[in-house]
Structure 1
Amino acid sequence: MSESLEGKVAVVIGGTGGIGAATATALAAAGACVVVTGQTIETAQRMISGLPGRGHHAAVASVADTSTLKGLADELASLHGRVDLLVNAAGFTRPVPHADLDALTDELIDDIMRVNWRGQFAAIREFRGLLEQSGAGLVVNVSSISGANGIGSNIAYCAAKAGLDVMTMSLARVLAPHVRILNVSPGVVDTGFVPGRGANFNDKVAATTPMRRIGSAQDIAEAVIACATHLTFSTGTTIVVDGGRRLG
């Protein structure tokens, strides 16, 4: 089976962060025309300037603001008429000890759910028509093993990722057969996503992970590529990429 994505149009929501940037780079290397979204046009433009290939596009969009997702979908409808792959890589969290219930405020819960669940659903909803135009559309959500094991930066984040896993199953039934939807579920990844986590934390996790290391953004990007090129009869399921972390 070919690993080429030549001629495919891929949108990476949150394409300037660690996992998103690695995924955008891998998609471009595989031949896709990549649309990278960021919080500012400057960050998105810097990202696409380093991508291999040509025809890439920078855009501003926020999963917290559905109007920006709709605007991007309308723009891409005019430019390409379809989207072959949508990657939901945007996310947000803040460390809160699970036992400190008072620190997990209503405001923080709402922010986490808005960015880590509602925003992903909104992106899929707004791009559904373009994905159906592909004839073989694919959505890949970046989830987390915290949605399955309940261990993560805070309880609300774990709940949001669990919700994302269930959403994927529900939407797989709705969107088939023209659009597939999969989750890629990392364990601990060596990015700056969780504030305050440094080398000491990473080393401790690596020592208790069967593969004896934490994940890299490239590990996750390669799993996204696999979803698009090899796992073509899979939908509604979660691909765990954690070095066996969930087994501990």
Structure 2
Amino acid sequence: MTDLAKKVVVVTGGGRGIGRAVSLLAAKRGYRVCLSYVSDAEAAATAVAAIEAEGGQAVAVRCDVAEEAEIVALFEAADRLGTVTALVNNAGVVDLPAPVSEMSAARLHRMMATNVVGSFLCAREAVRRMSTKVGGRGGAIVNVSSIAARLGGAGQFVDYAASKGAIDSFTIGLAREVADAGIRVNAVAPGIIDTEIHASGGTPDKAAVMGPGVPMKRAGTADEVAAPVLWLLSDEAAYTTGAILDVSGGR
């Protein structure tokens, strides 16, 4: 197999939490990994080092997915690794708990620019490379949604929940749009997962506090989200597209 035939996955927000777990598992499954980070260069470098220690190949690229030019540069870096056949749209932000009546326009623009527009633009770049209609090899996209899209986030994170509702609609629509171009598009919808994102939302103990209230009586782990993501990317899911897979412990 030539270098250009090697399969490459782009994982946004791949340095920490769910993105890191996806990056490491993807490398174990034979992908070359192009992971992005926006601020924590040390965490991203650690993820790359962990992949390389196991004989894999990875590169970390600073990319704010709210910036179109940075997304284009991210995919250009991925092209240098080989042929992009997979994208995991994982990068996202939360904010401090607040009711809608106290949300600023700046907060809402940031939320939607990162969680929604960024996912659209990353998918655009992936489709341009993967589509069999333009000479691509096909591929798969997995969007990271949230069960917040269904629960609504009342009183705290309605903006985050709404952004993930948009991701669900985006997943279904794009899946139907590119199904005949050799591209599958699916999503996972995690519930309470024990990652660093809760701290950035002002609730660092959220997993510990809310975990016991989940039907399975615990929070999930990043690895427990990564596994279904890699299944959706794999040939085992060859006839699955437009699906939104709950990974929520039964919430």
TM-score class normalised by the smaller sequence: 0.7 to 0.9
1:224 is aligned to 229
1:86 is aligned to 87
Are the structure 2 counterparts of residues 50 and 134 from structure 1 closer, same or farther at C-alpha, using a change threshold of 3 Å?
A: farther
Question: Structure 2 matches for 1:161-176, cutoff 5 A?
Answer: 161-176=164-179
Q: Which runs of 5+ in 1 are unaligned?
A: 1-5
Q: Which runs of 5+ in 2 are unaligned?
A: none
1:193 is aligned to 197
Query: CA contact under 8 A between 2:8 and 2:78: conserved in structure 1?
Result: no
Are the structure 2 counterparts of residues 41 and 60 from structure 1 closer, same or farther at C-alpha, using a change threshold of 3 Å?
A: farther
Task: Give the aligned residue type for 2:243.
Answer: T
Q: Work out whether 1:143 is the aligned partner of 2:149.
A: no
Are the structure 2 counterparts of residues 79 and 209 from structure 1 closer, same or farther at C-alpha, using a change threshold of 3 Å?
A: closer
Q: Work out whether 1:209 is the aligned partner of 2:214.
A: yes
Q: Distance in 2 between matches of 1:39 and 1:45?
A: 12
Out of 212, 233, 237, the position equivalent to 2:239 is 233
Are the structure 2 counterparts of residues 134 and 239 from structure 1 closer, same or farther at C-alpha, using a change threshold of 3 Å?
A: farther
Task: Give the aligned residue type for 1:45.
Answer: A
| Deviations 1:195-231 (CA, angstroms, capped at 9, x unpaired) | 33244x4344222211111111111111111112222
Instruction: Classify the secondary structure of the residue corresponding to 2:164.
Output: helix
Q: Distance in 1 between matches of 2:216 and 2:29?
A: 27
1:95 is aligned to 96
Instruction: Classify the secondary structure of the residue corresponding to 1:53.
Output: coil
Cα RMSD of the aligned pairs, angstroms, is: 2.0
Query: CA contact under 8 A between 1:31 and 1:53: conserved in structure 2?
Result: no
Query: CA contact under 8 A between 2:141 and 2:233: conserved in structure 1?
Result: no
Are the structure 2 counterparts of residues 189 and 79 from structure 1 closer, same or farther at C-alpha, using a change threshold of 3 Å?
A: closer
- How big is the shift at 1:238? 0.4
Instruction: Classify the secondary structure of the residue corresponding to 1:90.
Output: coil
Out of 184, 187, 190, the position equivalent to 1:183 is 187
Query: CA contact under 8 A between 2:188 and 2:229: conserved in structure 1?
Result: yes
Task: Give the aligned residue type for 2:143.
Answer: N
Percent sequence identity is 29
Q: Distance in 2 between matches of 1:221 and 1:79?
A: 22
